[in-house]
Amino acid sequence: MQYCTAILLAAGSGTRFDPNKTKQRHMLLGKSVLRRSAEALCASEYVDALVAVVREDECEIARRELSFLSKPYTVVIGGQTRQASAAIGFRNIPEETTEVLIHDAARCLIRTEGVDRVALAVRAHGAASAVSAVHDTVKQLDGEGRIASTLDRSRLCLAATPQGFSVPIYREALACPASVTDDNMLVEHLGMRVYPVYVAENPKITTPEDMHYAEFLLGKRGERDE
């Protein structure tokens, strides 16, 4: 039987967003960024449990924010880096887990339909990632910082989350000593390919300006401030 656990990464300091309050605690039309991400993940019929990886000083806040969930959840303290936090989350998944979905809490606008599609792709391919298309012309620079060539954007995409893997693949990938910025890179170091799943309206909240865009997108979906 397949059992999918979502690992929600929310342990970052987010100093680019607000030096006094982490972005996962900020409210977006009446709900925190953390809660919105957790809701989208747990609304998926393919997600069976959730592990939230948070800062030590936000454990109680996270438990309150997640107490409404109808699926089992665990709150654990994260590490110094995203990579370390993902590994900690993985060590705390339920024993029966066969697949993991790793999601950045800052991508709180992910729709459940997008979560579903990534989860199904993991079951079909073993490794899958949400991505977005590249619409601009992309240039490559030479060693002197000058434009040297134009890349074929039809073969490019922007990595997003959730990124999902079968448990055996991700366990092996975590043994990679390389320092990486996303989990796809760990699997790539194994010589494996990750299946792309194009997901629309899945921006990452990094700056305060991103909150305005997020509110705009939620408004398009019919949401209003509570």
Residue 111 belongs to domain with CATH number: 3.90.550.10
Q: What is the pLDDT of residue 23?
A: 79
Q: Considering the domain boundaries, does residue 226 fall inside one?
A: no
* pLDDT number for residue 224: 74
- Res 131: pLDDT: 98
Question: Is 48 contained in some domain?
Answer: yes
- What confidence score (pLDDT) does residue 17 get? 64
Total domains, the chain: 1
Question: What pLDDT, on a 0 to 100 scale, did the predictor assign at position 87?
Answer: 96
Q: Determine the structural domain holding residue 86 and report its residue range.
A: 4-131+158-220
Contact 178, 185 (CB under 8 A): yes
pLDDT of residue 15: 59
In a domain, 147, yes or no: no
Say how many Å lie between the first and final Cα of the chain, rounded.
Answer: 40
pLDDT for 19 equals: 64
Q: Which residue stretches of the chain are H helix?
A: 33-42, 59-66, 82-91, 112-125, 167-173, 183-188, 208-220
Evaluate whether residue 141 is within a structural domain.
no
Q: What is the DSSP letter of 154?
A: G
**Residue 137 belongs to some domain of the structure:** no
Which of 23, 58, 14 shows the shortest CA–CA distance to 214? 23
Q: Does residue 68 lie within any of the structural domains?
A: yes
179, 83 in Cβ contact below 8 A? yes
In a domain, 163, yes or no: yes
Inside any domain, residue 151: no
Question: Could you list the pLDDT tens digit for every one of the 226 residues in the chain?
Answer: 899 999 999 998 665 666 667 878 888 898 999 999 999 999 999 999 999 999 999 999 999 999 999 899 999 999 999 999 999 999 999 999 999 999 999 999 999 999 999 999 999 999 999 999 999 999 999 999 999 999 999 999 999 999 999 999 999 999 988 889 999 999 999 999 999 999 999 999 988 889 989 999 998 898 877 5
Task: Report the 10 Å Cβ neighbour count for 77.
Answer: 14
